[in-house]
Amino acid sequence: PFGHSGEEALDELMADYGGFNHNLQGLRIVDLLEEHYPEFPGLNLTWEVREGIVRHTSSYDESVSSEGFSADKLPSLETQVVDIADEIAYNNHDIDDGLASGLLDEPELRKVKLWARADREVGLRYKKLKLQLKKYQIIRLLIDWQVTDLLKETERRIKEEKVQSVDDCRSSKHRLVVFSKEMEALRLPLKDFLMENLYQNYRVVRMAGKAKRFIAELFELYLDNPQALPGETNLRIKKGENTRRVICDYIAGMTDRCALDEYKKLFDPYEKV
């Protein structure tokens, strides 16, 4: 829960017990925690899909090595596509959320070259468009431009490096699924704008600190009294699994809303449990 703030909180709480990394946790979920087959744990996913989970890389996430997965070579093209698709999605949806919440100011956003260019293009296509609809069309256009550029640049690099196989892809010196230099230069000021005006906004920073406290207090309560955990989760501890890791798994599987509701149930005397 609570995105990267939640991840940092769990990593601090598990510092002396193997830490917490959400790539490794994702692999742990599909390999061990999910139960769909009587013969074995996990989801029985292919090696390639599992590699995509553990080797996920972004501005905030580093690819990690795990048993059977080396970080020495580049991941598959599919993994590289997922990494970039993730970045396109969260950047553009964060703009949408930032504007909707009032944390971002649209006139200030127009000072960013890429947004201003899309704003002008939408203005030429649609006259007298409502602000809400215009925002959606600008974001739609930004996604279109980035995806189109990504496809062209990736195709160019594959041809230039004469990639014919998976081994060729993994042995490449540089990632193949990337934006052109021109698009990357346009995207950077937008990413900087989001960092300064959204991710480092005092309201977001306050919420991040509050989220860490929620998780830490939940964790310590479960640690002091594992009986407060649901039956199946508590049973894992009784069978001998590490108490901290079981609690970590349980909290990591929560949504933001679930974590907040759980906190209220356990700490608010007027809330039904």
Looking at residue 171, what DSSP letter applies?
H
Total count of domains within the chain: 2
Shared-domain flag, residues 27 and 119: no
Shared-domain flag, residues 173 and 210: no
- What pLDDT was estimated at residue 23? 92
* Helices 243-252 + 3-13 axis angle, to 10: 180
Whether 89 maps to a domain, the answer reads yes
Do residues 54 and 23 lie in contact, with contact meaning Cβ atoms separated by under 8 Å?
A: yes
The DSSP secondary structure of 93-118, one letter per residue, reads HHHHHHHHHTSS-HHHHTTSHHHHHH
Shared-domain flag, residues 152 and 249: no
Residues 6 or more apart in contact with residue 264 via CB below 8 angstroms: 271
Distances from the Cα of 211 to the Cαs of 9, 37, 103, in angstroms?
8, 35, 19
- What pLDDT was estimated at residue 160? 96
Rounded Cα distance between 191 and 88, Å, is 11
Whether 109 maps to a domain, the answer reads yes
Q: Which residues of the chain have pLDDT under 50?
A: none
Whether 235 maps to a domain, the answer reads yes
175: tokens are 């990632």
- What pLDDT was estimated at residue 60? 67
Range of the domain at 192: 73-200
148: left (phi over 0), alpha (psi -120 to 50) or beta: alpha
Helices (H) and strands (E) in the chain, counts: 13, 0
Total residue count of the chain as it appears in this document = 273
Do residues 86 and 98 lie in contact, with contact meaning Cβ atoms separated by under 8 Å?
A: no
Shared-domain flag, residues 82 and 102: yes
Q: Which residue, of 142, 170, 200, is where some domain finishes?
A: 200
Q: Which residue, of 200, 225, 250, is where some domain finishes?
A: 200
53: tokens are 């989970």
Whether 40 maps to a domain, the answer reads no
Output the domain CATH number for residue 194. Answer: 1.10.3210.10
Shared-domain flag, residues 140 and 80: yes
- What pLDDT was estimated at residue 72? 79
Q: Which residue, of 177, 200, 223, is where some domain finishes?
A: 200
Closest by Cα among 72, 81, 66, 6 to 251: 6
- What pLDDT was estimated at residue 273? 84
Kindly report the pTM of this predicted structure: 0.88
The tens digit of pLDDT for each residue in 184-214 reads 999 999 999 999 999 999 999 999 999 999 9
